[in-house]
Structure 1
Amino acid sequence: MTSVADNLAVIRQRIREAALRAGRDPASVHLLAVSKTVPMERILDACRAGVNVFGENKVQEAVGKLESPGAADCRWHFIGHLQKNKVKYVVGRFDLIHSVDSIELAEKLNAESEKQGMVTNALIQVNVSGEASKYGVDPDHLGDLLRRSGALSGIAVKGLMTIPPYTPDAEEARKHFVSLRTLRDRMCEKAIPGVTLTELSMGMSHDFEIAIEEGATWVRVGTALFGERAG
């Protein structure tokens, strides 16, 4: 099995080169290590190697990991589809929720956050491809969701997230990354109260360099760091 530290060094170099190609500061791009199905021992290896933030997409698996010894030394983001009845398990445990896709979910997060006396950072997931199988708000409804979410005191909307269709040709994803960045720029022009759109979460192991070229601030990398997932 390849060393996580070796993989990390390669990924960081690729991030740096992609950022420089786009005329960006490499420090403006953050690596989110997608750790779903990855054993806690290997996650801690990654943490010791210098990985700072890990992303989980299933609440039950994530909660088990967060209760493990050593988990407090890591920072955690939630990146999967979040059911409203699981909100109470994620508020207060994750630094950032990448997958808010409806006002109903935003309101649930807001209520639980207010109950705990905190503010939850969130990204709005946008279905830029229009795929029926993908979660995310329709781009035409994004402005309304941002306005309504921005009025909630228990959540802070920090940006947008998308998951484009998988294709063997990573270059095909570029148009979707461009779409998300363009949407973000258009929403910024509206100066929606209570909303800051500094973050773009897009790009995974097979296409993160293209995402960086198109403005990603968070790239979600799992396989390239940890190797192929079991199962």
Structure 2
Amino acid sequence: MSDSAALAESRFPGTEYDRLPARVWWLGALMVLIGVATFILMTTNGHAEGYLYLFFYSIPSNTAISVFPHEPVLIWYGTIANMWLASLAATGGTMVSGWLDHRVFVPVLNYTKITSYKRSRFYSKMTGIFMRYPFATLVATGLTPIPFWPFKFLCFSIHYPLWRYLAALTVGRFPRYLFLAWVGARFEIPAWILITIVIVIFSVYAIRGVPAAWGWMKERRQARQRSG
């Protein structure tokens, strides 16, 4: 084990998992279900501007692995709703998302069959950087355009405490959401532009993700055939 990983374990002790808990599967399925249901309701219901929709949409759009962008939605809400209430609703959904992520990905990233990644030089270097100021790093990456998901995974891999993670999410995400809603209120960006952005993002994920998923399933099927 690297010095950085040892430091992380000494500060945030946790266990490795020989088997994934059942909650990983049913909470993961719940995240997908919430995402699909909310997206359908928001795109088909004439009252999609309600804060409850934004609350639920913010759950799948802020999970560690998400294809739902939150930026255009927050900007759109800024044009039609109170930006403070919209930011609070989005932050509330993000807290639920953070809890789900922590419950799912801490076991996944500490599953004994895949923890060999912790011995890599890259992981050791990134963990060493992250461990200097973990809370501030989460706040900064949650607030700014810096990609957030790598630091989420670092956080989960070292058993970063749930309450600290949720606190960092709140401190970083609320002002980000408020800024996005302010942009919508200030500049009144047309809805068709925001819809186009969402479609483009989904298309990019589909172009990159579908072939990768198909290749993974094909490899799994071939592996089962060889073992059978």
TM-score class normalised by the smaller sequence: under 0.3
TM-score (norm 1): 0.26
User: RCO greater where, 1 or 2, for CA within 8 Å and sep 6 or more?
Assistant: 2
**Based on CA coordinates, which of the two structures has the bigger radius of gyration?**
2
Normalized per residue, which structure has more strand? 1
Normalization by structure 2: what TM-score?
0.27
